[in-house]
Amino acid sequence: MFLLSEDRIDREKVTADLKEDQAGALVVFEGWVRNHNQGKSVNSLEYQVYAELAEKEGKKILDESREKFNLHRAIAVHRFGHLVLGDTAVFVGTIASHRDDAFRATRFIIDEIKLRLPIWKKEHYTNQAPEWVYCRDHTTHVHFEEKDYYEKQARLIDSACLSRAKVLVVGAGGLGCPALMALATAGVGEITVADFDHVSLSNLHRQTLFTTEDVGEKKATVARTRLSLMNPFIRVHSKLKRVEADNVASLVSGQDLVLDCTDNFESKMILHDACFLAGVPLISASVYRFQGNIRTFLPSEEHGCLRCVFSATPDDSLIGNCNDFGVLGATVSTIGSIQASEALEFLANQTNSTIRDTFYLDLKTLSPMKLRNLKRADCEGCGSRPDLGKKNGTDSITDAHRPSEYEISIDEVKSSDFRLVDIRREDDAVLDRLRESLAADESESEGALPSPKWVVYCHRGIRSKKLVQAQRAKGFFHFYSLKGGACSL
């Protein structure tokens, strides 16, 4: 029984209903009007309620609690209108066969009431103007336990690996929606959604993160909101951007993995080249009508790269896309889910099934194909004469971003005017601090000082390479990384 009441709550009367011979425990919670909140002296309270919705939702909460905790009965009463100090604002009472159920159910009910009911509270203070207080700010999700969320997958995958991971998903469309949902609900700790587009009605049959209410909204923004609601234990960022040659380096920089869920070759190539140059693994998926493919690209080059397949970007207008040839929700959802599954496998174990082979699946005939990737010796990307960045679309990925340009050996350091900087005991912001100190020197001397070249080194040259690459992505080219790190000194 759920009630809204403008009158004082009569405890005797309400608890009279909480009796049953099978019941072994009664737990009662009362929320009272107290004389202070967050340092302010409170005189009285005022509650406003959207009654129709509150009654419906309140009844739902009680139904859920009875089911979840084997209750015999549950009662909740919420006051509205004007309340004075000492009044009971909320009453919750449950009876169950065992005390544990009654305790947990009562806690559940009051938390859900705070979270879900459309009830607003205004506090009247002793010596300042009254204010509406947003209860959700300090009570949200208190009853949600992270380990409960992942309970059913804990035997299959290491949640700690996933929660440490940073993943960029480019494209929140037919592939991106299912991929994002699978990554978010599996607990990938930090997800960035990049998409420049708006939700349209013709997206909804396949882009499962969106509803009719979202038509006209930015996909990345809606995706962020929805994913955060699906899993409150991760962080989701949105970038309202189309992947272009001049922003791609900063997008992929610092990511542990990138998912290409785009629908055109121009974007696929730009993303592939940037990931390759930045040393970030990439899982790319595409569909054509009832067919799809998935491939993982590693910067290690052992199994070739996308430039081994296409030295120039294929003309999108010749291939056809979803607009030209149609697309089915079930097909893209399957391919996007397999892509996410490959991503989770890679994050957990640093390997997966689509590194060595490209996986093709025909949903019409259910015929799968795994084809061993080809590495081309004269490839412009990973071959003996790399020429990446000078191809169409990617002109701005210049030589300065290429590892061979900023990774230098100890012999080169000795023969030239470099300053060695040990970053083994420094945190990841060390290069930002060095850059600031350089900027300060420059402004003092009005730019007359020659720019120094700093060679930073860590233990093995892996972390230093990543940090230097990040600086170059930001357009700062004074840093170099010592190949092999301190081990080479």
Partner 1 sequence: MIGGSKKNIEVRYYASLREQAGKESETILTDCRTYGDLYEDLRRKYPFTLNLDMMQVAVDDAFVSMGAEIYSGQRIVFIPPMAGG
User: What helix, strand, coil percent values describe the chain, rounded to 5?
Assistant: 35, 25, 40
**Min. distance of Cβ 289 from partner 1 in angstroms?**
7
- Which one of residues 365, 404, 443, 445 is an interface residue with partner 1 (CB under 8 A)? 365
CA distance 163 to 154: 13
Strands across the sheet containing 454-457: 407-408, 479-482, 454-457, 419-422
From the number of C-beta atoms within 10 Å of its C-beta (0-12, 13-18, 19+), residue 193 rates as buried
Q: Which of 372, 385, 414, 425 binds partner 1 (CB under 8 A)?
A: 372
> Residue 360, interface with partner 1 (CB under 8 A)?
yes
Q: Is 198 a residue that touches partner 1 (CB under 8 A)?
A: no
Tokens 């000082």 appear where?
449
CB of 95 to partner 1, least distance (A): 54
In the complex with partner 1, the residue whose CB is nearer, 232 or 368, is: 368
**Piece in contact with partner 1 (CB under 8 A), picked from 106-114, 191-199, 208-216, 368-376:** 368-376
Residue 324 beta carbon to partner 1: minimum distance, rounded to whole angstroms: 9
Q: How far apart are CA 245 and CA 268, in angstroms?
A: 11
Q: How far is the CB of 90 from partner 1 (least distance, A)?
A: 49
Nearer to partner 1, 227 or 261 (CB): 261
Residue 16 or 318 with smaller CB distance to partner 1: 318
Q: How far is the CB of 377 from partner 1 (least distance, A)?
A: 10
φ and ψ at 447, to 5 degrees?
Answer: 75, 10
Is 371 a residue that touches partner 1 (CB under 8 A)? yes
Q: How far apart (Å, rounded) are the C-alpha atoms in residues 294 and 355?
A: 10
Residues 373-402 that bind partner 1 (CB under 8 A): 373-374, 376
Query: What is the C-alpha to C-alpha distance for residues 227 and 187, in angstroms, rounded to an integer?
Result: 11
**Buried/exposed 70-107: b ≥16 CB within 10 Å, e otherwise:** ebbbbbbbbbbeebeeebbbbbbbbbbeeeebbbbbbb
Q: According to the binding rule CB under 8 A, does residue 102 interact with partner 1?
A: no
Q: Concatenated DSSP letters for 18-57? A: ---TT--EEEEEEEE--SEETTEEEEEEEEEE-HHHHHHH
In this complex, which beta carbon is closest to partner 1, that of residue 130 or of residue 314?
A: 314
Distance of alpha carbon 370 from alpha carbon 296, whole angstroms: 13
CB nearer to partner 1: give 164 or 364: 364
37 vs 311 by CB, closer to partner 1:
311
CB of 120 to partner 1, least distance (A): 43
Supply the minimum distance, in Å, between the C-beta of residue 322 and partner 1: 5
292 or 386: CB nearest partner 1: 292
Judged by beta carbon, residue 365 or residue 443, the one nearer partner 1 is: 365
Smallest gap from residue 321 Cβ to partner 1 (A): 5
**Residues binding partner 1: what is the number (CB under 8 A)?**
43
The burial class, CB within 10 Å (0-12 / 13-18 / 19+), for 186 is buried
Neighbour-count burial of 1, counting CB atoms closer than 10 A to its CB (0-12 exposed, 13-18 middle, 19+ buried): middle
Closest distance to partner 1 from the beta carbon of 359 (Å): 12
By CB under 8 A, what part of segment 320-339 binds partner 1?
Answer: 320-322, 325, 327, 332
Smallest distance from partner 1 to CB 267, Å? 9
What's the CA gap between 138 and 344, in Å, rounded?
Answer: 33
Among 309, 408, 430, 486, binds partner 1 (CB under 8 A): 309
CB 285 within 8 A of CB 306: no
Binding track over 257-296 against partner 1, x by CB under 8 A: ----xxxxx--x----------------xxxxx-xxx---
Q: Return the residues of window 39-78 that contact partner 1 according to CB under 8 A.
A: none
Q: In this structure, what token pair is assigned to residue 126?
A: 């002793």
Q: Are 209 and 332 in contact (CB under 8 A)?
A: no
Residue 223, CA distances (Å) to 52, 179, 194, 309, 338 in order = 30, 11, 10, 32, 19
- Name the residue nearer to partner 1 (CB basis): 292 or 485: 292
Nearer to partner 1, 375 or 433 (CB): 375
Backbone angles phi, psi at 297, to 5 degrees: -110, 125
When asked if residue 461 is in the footprint of partner 1 (CB under 8 A), the reply is no
Q: Quote the least distance from Cβ 330 to partner 1, whole Å.
A: 14
Span 129-188, contacts to partner 1 by CB under 8 A: 171, 173-176
Smallest CA-to-CA distance from 200 within 226, 218, 223 is with 218
The least distance separating partner 1 from the CB of residue 244, rounded to whole angstroms, comes to: 17
The vertex-284 CA angle with 379 and 178, nearest 5°, equals: 180
Count of beta carbons in the 10 Å neighbourhood of residue 27: 20
Reduced to 3 states (helix: H, G, I; strand: E, B; else coil), residue 224 is helix
Contact window for partner 1 (CB under 8 A) among 53-61, 310-318, 347-355, 381-389:
310-318
Contact set with partner 1 (CB under 8 A):
171, 173-176, 261-265, 268, 285-289, 291-293, 309-310, 312, 314-316, 318-322, 325, 327, 332, 358, 360, 365, 369-374, 376
